[in-house]
């Protein structure tokens, strides 16, 4: 009879040898793969390092060359500067232009001194005495003229202001005319022009005050009070309140 136990032992030995062989082959393959990868990695690293070293060397050589050229150029320029004589540069054209400007400025100064200044009519204030004199065509030299034709000046001023008002219909222009008439004692015209200003701008506080003051001067005290009281109720204007008190006390 065949010995069964002996056969089993042989079979186990064969199986173990087969497994050992397969395992050995796998280990050898892994070693070969890892070794090949390691060798290739080292070679690639050496090549990269070599190229980088070459590039660095080339760059260093270029930098040294450029720095040497720069130093040489700077030395050459400094030598040229030291050897070149100092020559003053004069811009003749600029000198001529500056000379012309200076002469023109002096001539303009003399021209201004020799001419009378033109005066424009102010839009929001009365003309000064000097401005009124120029508008009227007279001089304010106290040694030559001691009196000013106020009547003619006033007429010129009024004509100018009325023309301006006709052009722009500005309520403040009308108010200026009303004030001028009131100051001159022409209360009918001051009332008329204050009303024109008020019709254009109801919020113009002074138009109410000049209108009421003109009415009071013309003997229309009650009418002036009615208008002022009605205006004060809506505006609470302190100037209107003060004028009401003055009219009541007859102290205008």
**Which position has the token pair 């009131």?**
182
Between the CA of residue 22 and those of 11, 33, 49, 57, 90, what are the distances in Å?
17, 17, 41, 53, 101
pLDDT for residue 85:
41
Which residue stretches of the chain have pLDDT < 50?
A: 1, 81-90, 116-128, 131-132, 134-153
Q: Would you state the structure tokens that stand for residue 231, as one six-digit string?
A: 């205006």
pLDDT for residue 178:
93
pLDDT for residue 249:
86
Cα–Cα–Cα angle for 138, 142, 147, rounded to 5 degrees: 60
Cβ 186 vs Cβ 213: under 8 Å: no
Q: What is the DSSP letter of 204?
A: -
d(CA 70, CA 47): 35
pLDDT for residue 213:
92
Which residues are within 8 A (CB) of 111 and not within 5 positions of it... i.e. 6 or more apart? none
pLDDT for residue 50:
60
Q: Would you state the structure tokens that stand for residue 102, as one six-digit string?
A: 């200076």
Main-chain dihedrals φ then ψ at residue 147, nearest 5 degrees: -130, 150
Between the CA of residue 239 and those of 22, 215, 228, 245, what are the distances in Å?
120, 17, 10, 10
Longest dimension (CA), the chain: 171
Q: Would you state the structure tokens that stand for residue 136, as one six-digit string?
A: 């009227």
pLDDT for residue 102:
78
Q: Does the global pTM surpass 0.85? A: no
pLDDT for residue 106:
76
pLDDT for residue 89:
46
Cβ 218 vs Cβ 185: under 8 Å: no
Closest CA to 177 of 251, 113, 115, 124: 124
Phi-psi region of 115 (alpha: psi -120 to 50; beta: other; left: phi over 0): beta
Closest CA to 160 of 202, 214, 121, 199: 121
pLDDT for residue 182:
94
Secondary structure (3-state) at 143: coil
Which residues are within 8 A (CB) of 214 and not within 5 positions of it... i.e. 6 or more apart? 178, 182, 187, 188, 190, 191, 194
d(CA 229, CA 225): 6
């Amino acid at each position: 009879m065949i010995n069964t136990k002996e056969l089993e032992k042989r079979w186990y030995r064969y199986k173990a040898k087969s497994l050992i062989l397969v395992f050995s082959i796998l280990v050898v393959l892994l070693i070969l793969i890892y070794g090949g990868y390691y060798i290739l990695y080292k070679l690639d690293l050496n090549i990269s390092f070599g190229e980088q070293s070459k590039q660095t060397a080339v760059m260093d050589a270029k930098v040294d060359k450029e720095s040497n050229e720069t130093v040489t150029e700077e030395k050459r320029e400094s030598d040229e500067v030291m050897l070149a004589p100092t020559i003053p540069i004069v811009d003749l054209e600029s000198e001529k232009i500056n000379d012309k400007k200076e002469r023109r400025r002096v001539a303009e100064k003399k021209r201004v001194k020799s001419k009378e200044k033109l005066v424009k009519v102010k839009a929001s204030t009365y003309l000064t005495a000097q401005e009124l004199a120029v508008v009227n065509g007279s001089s304010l030299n106290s040694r030559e003229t001691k009196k000013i034709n106020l009547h003619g000046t006033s007429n010129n001023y009024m004509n100018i202001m009325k023309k301006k008002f006709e052009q722009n219909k500005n309520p403040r222009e009308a108010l200026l005319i009303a004030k001028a008439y009131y100051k001159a004692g022409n209360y009918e015209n001051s009332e008329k022009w204050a009303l024109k200003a008020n019709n254009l701008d109801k919020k113009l506080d002074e138009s109410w005050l000049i209108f009421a003051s003109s009415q009071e001067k013309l003997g229309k005290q009650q009418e002036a009070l009615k208008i002022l009281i009605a205006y004060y109720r809506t505006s609470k204007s302190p100037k209107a309140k003060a004028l009401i008190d003055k009219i009541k006390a007859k102290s205008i």
